[in-house]
Structure 1
Amino acid sequence: MVEYELARGFGMHFRDYSTVQIVQHCLQQGREGEYWDFKQEWHKKIQDLLKDIICFANTVHDKKCYIIFGISDDLKIVGMTEPRRKQADIIDALSNLWFAGDVSPKISVETVMINGVKLDVLVVDNIERTPVYLNRDYGAMKRGCIYARVQDRNTPNNGNADMETIENLWKKRMGLTKPPYEYIIDRLQNREEWSDYDGDFYNIYKPEYRIHNYQDDEQDTLAAEFYAYTQVNTSVFYSCIDIIANNTVLDTYQIVHLDGGRLHIPVPEWGFIDKKEGYNGHYSYKFYLSDSPRYELLKFMYSSENPEQKMAYNYFAQVVLLFDSKAEQNEFKKYVFSHLNQLENFISVDAKVYNTSDLRGTEKRVVQERLKTGAALNKMLLQWRKLNATSRRSD
């Protein structure tokens, strides 16, 4: 089922899958592509590796790119026999180059196991401020030349990207290649671009892009969710936000106002982890994905410089999970399911007193169980990340 989903249009959703799944998908294509390249061994010359990284940084799309090491020319998983390169050494080499405007590629290196064979995957992050190019010659690369990745080919050392590609890279820098919704979410990171007018926001450079906050009568009857009981003031109310471009509503988010209205954030999503066979139901929790529009909106609305907001958010974050990506969430759920005894133990020993004195009966029991589950899952998430970090260092 996973392979079918990936094959249908994986390129638009790389962030939703693990690195192993990404490598498997790329191999299934039977070729190299705009997002990925195969190498049997690491580059012998660091200059050649940096050139490939710069080419992948200069792509018009908004996705990460992958150089996968340990794959033969006939696309077999064979592993590596020659010396491998470390992430720190590559980052150091990039830092010694003279990039125009100090805009340089961002990379990471991950080691994965597929069919018992160790592969290295160099990830080139998406960059908005394209094109990336040098102010000084380096190796065979010339200053001022723009090297890019187009389909499955890199610009030659003695050449330059074609005019259409260069033009599109400059458009990407200016946000002209994004559809309106993606543009709005992207610009939320620049709070100074948004002007507040009567509770609404509009982009000062594109006033037709707006964030409209309003009350909805249907929201008035909603009960507080469990995380409200981490607050000093457990009263809540709800509203809605519309993301608008040219008077067209592109998306709507429910907003929860916590701690008596001191903290205003998008309602987190529900997640579930099945209990062991023989038990009924599941453990439920609330979460955000840090690479999602919902979380970008949260960062836009929340100010850590406001002491009251910060205190309310810190209480809230004790029982609500924040994942780096959908892929991380999926891998963590597998870990929890294989360590349910540990989760149950964390829940049972949680002695924290939550502000649930106004609740009674079943409602109180359910709220307390969800509060303890959220706190326990956050402990396990921290533990799991430390285990993964240790494992990566050992590779």
Structure 2
Amino acid sequence: MLNQLIQEFISLRQEGSYWDFKKEWYANEKKSDLLHDIICMANNIDNKDAYIIIGIDEENNYSVRNVVNDANRKNTQMLIDFLRNKKFSGGIRPVVQVETIIIDNGEIDVIVIKNTNNTPYYLSEKYQGVFANNIYTRVMDTNTPKEKSADIHHVEYLWKKRFRLISTPLERVEYYLKKSNEWIHSTSGISSKKYYKYFPEFTIEHIREDDVYGYEYYLFNQTDTRPRWYEIKLYYHQTLLFATRGVSLDGGRYFTSIPFTDGISLTSCHDWDIPFKYFIKDTLEYTIHEFYFSPDGDEKSTSHRKFMECMLVFDSEDEKESFKEYVLSVWHDNHKYSQSIRIPHIPEIMSYITDEFKKEYKNVQILKNIFEEFKLNNS
């Protein structure tokens, strides 16, 4: 994906508002240029990830200049350390990583500057030629000069971006949900409703689904195993932005959005031999899950802990897919991951096969043990 994108940039034979070409890595005497370029890219007004592409010779028909033997070459950790030692306002620094790709049998490095809402990035203390309190950006293919600050309308845009004023209502409410202590409870009729106190047009409510029944394996390690299902709705004024389902656990002691469902097939058939429940961080469902949990050190915390004992939590969709491949490679030896697993009492329930619940519960505990190993191997 990155390789294809960088090749597209090279094929354009020009720099852009969020990509830049360098023939070689920045020498020690050009550290201020490296810092300035990163800040400009982090503050790009295209609202995109930005790329400093090192190893492309613009003066020689944008040919590849191999960086393998570049004495000034840096990896991700070196770049993070470089930024960590600079005095950024509020201690908020650009998020960067270095990726190496092969083009025309040569290695080039790409400094990827992640797009975030923490703009504008700027220094609180001068570093060489990079001034404190100057807000830099990039317009077309040109950086703001070090001795100047960006045009006022670009500065305003960057501040609006930080406060989510250029975001969609759905993006804004997801950001506000991460500030759960800023929501006000407002019971209305049959629903439990909250509104965001600074922008009360944003509301969240959950309504009991009395006509919905069903059991899941994660209900049975709670003290009260009876299911209570809900519909969760997010609104902007009267517009429905998002809806998902929720579940009240342990007799109402704990409430959460329901997890996703996936599974692993051990054969060429597409049926799931090992189903599991999971969340992915940075999804709205996971944000809602965290929104509804406020630790109380008592019953709610216990119910939450028991629920999470039955869940897998991934950093990304890619991590989930990689984990599934890893499981396939070790499942033949799954007994070594099943030591000391305790299955809670699961009663007989009409129209349900109790042994299936036991199997699902045991398998997810095995998966959690495998996941610990997977994370350790990929740390």
Q: Give the TM-score, by structure 1 length.
A: 0.80
Identity of aligned residues (%): 29
Q: Deviations over 1:183-203 (max 9, x none)?
A: 011111112321111131111
Partner of 1:253: 244
Q: Indicate which of 37, 40, 44 corresponds to 1:59.
A: 44
SS in structure 1 at match of 2:378: helix
Q: Indicate which of 330, 339, 342 corresponds to 1:352.
A: 342
Q: Give the TM-score, by structure 2 length.
A: 0.83
Aligned equivalents of 1:326 and 1:272: distance in 2? Answer: 13
Aligned equivalents of 1:376 and 1:191: distance in 2? Answer: 33
Ranges of 4+ aligned residues in structure 1 off by more than 6 Å: 115-119
Q: Indicate which of 334, 356, 359 corresponds to 1:366.
A: 356
Structure having the higher helix fraction is 1
SS in structure 1 at match of 2:305: helix
Counterpart contact for 1:290–1:323, Cα < 8 Å: yes
Pick closer, same or farther for the CA change 1:294–1:280 going to 2, 3 Å.
closer
SS in structure 1 at match of 2:313: strand
Aligned equivalents of 2:228 and 2:22: distance in 1? Answer: 55
Amino acid at match of 2:375: R
Task: Tell me if 1:156 matches 2:135.
Answer: no
SS in structure 1 at match of 2:33: helix
Partner of 1:298: 289
Aligned equivalents of 2:140 and 2:220: distance in 1? Answer: 52
Task: Tell me if 1:27 matches 2:7.
Answer: yes
Counterpart contact for 1:109–1:120, Cα < 8 Å: no
Q: Deviations over 1:90-143 (max 9, x none)?
A: 33433333333x243243536567699877554434443421222333222223
Q: Indicate which of 16, 35, 50 corresponds to 1:50.
A: 35
Counterpart contact for 1:350–1:372, Cα < 8 Å: no
Partner of 2:95: 107
* Greater RCO (CA < 8 Å, at least 6 residues apart): 1
Counterpart contact for 1:320–1:374, Cα < 8 Å: yes
Q: Which runs of 5+ in 1 are unaligned?
A: 1-20, 390-395
Q: Indicate which of 120, 140, 148 corresponds to 2:129.
A: 140
Partner of 1:314: 305
Aligned equivalents of 2:332 and 2:143: distance in 1? Answer: 51
Cα RMSD for the two superposed structures: 3.1
Q: Deviations over 1:172-216 (max 9, x none)?
A: 122210111110111111123211111311111111111122123
Counterpart contact for 1:110–1:121, Cα < 8 Å: yes
Partner of 1:212: 205
Aligned equivalents of 1:40 and 1:276: distance in 2? Answer: 50
Superposition deviation, residue 63 in structure 1: 5.2
Segment of structure 1 superposing worse, 105-114 or 128-137: 105-114
Counterpart contact for 2:44–2:138, Cα < 8 Å: yes
Pick closer, same or farther for the CA change 1:189–1:317 going to 2, 3 Å.
same
Q: Which runs of 5+ in 2 are unaligned?
A: none
Counterpart contact for 1:268–1:288, Cα < 8 Å: yes
Which structure: larger Rg?
2
Aligned equivalents of 1:85 and 1:125: distance in 2? Answer: 17
